[in-house]
Amino acid sequence: MIDNDVNAGWMDRTAVGGRDLLLLAARILLGAIFVQSGFGKLMGLGGFIAGLESQGVPMAAVLGTVGAVVECFGGLAVVLGAWTRLAAILVAGFTVAATLIAHRYWDAAPDAMKMQQIQFMKNLAIIGGYLSLVASGAGRYSVDGMRGPRA
């Protein structure tokens, strides 16, 4: 028979002992897609803005530029662990906006509805990951960690 209290204690000790490495992995895994996607949007900004205009986004040129910058450089800040809480909340906000613009599965054609729902739910999970970084901070292996503890 497995003693669940012993296993839970081992898991807690392992997670707490590896907290900084786990936060580093989380930051890299969460931020990498935003660096790649945001960089692509910045390199093809006209096309990105045109896509936003076609979806009826007001002030698409301004919002598209701000969104691409937040996505790319916010993702990079998260990966590096620099201004992590600010970057995480900005990228989470970007993801909320992107989700509501691009993954409105309830308005999608029947053949696209399931895929848009999957993308919508994936983005909710990503937002949850970013909110976890807001709560936890970057950890020791980060630019923020090198600056020393903050209150």
- Can you give the pLDDT of all 151 residues of the chain as single tens digits? 455 666 678 888 888 888 999 999 999 999 999 999 999 999 999 999 999 999 999 999 999 999 999 999 999 999 999 999 999 999 999 999 999 999 999 999 999 999 999 999 999 999 999 999 999 999 999 999 998 766 4
What pLDDT, on a 0 to 100 scale, did the predictor assign at position 26? 97
Q: Is 114 domain-assigned?
A: yes
Q: Is residue 1 part of a domain?
A: no
Please list, in sequence order, all residues whose beta carbon lies within 8 angstroms of the beta carbon of residue 56, skipping any fewer than 6 positions away.
none
Look at residues 123, 149, 122, 127 and name the one whose alpha carbon lies nearest to residue 138. Answer: 149
112 assigned to some structural domain: yes
**What's the total number of domains in the chain?**
1
pTM equals 0.88
Would you state the pLDDT for residue 151?
45
**Tokens at 96, concatenated:** 């909320």
Give the HSE-up count for residue 144: Cα atoms under 13 Å, Cβ half-sphere: 25
Answer whether residue 52 is part of any domain.
yes
- Print the domain residue range for 69: 16-146
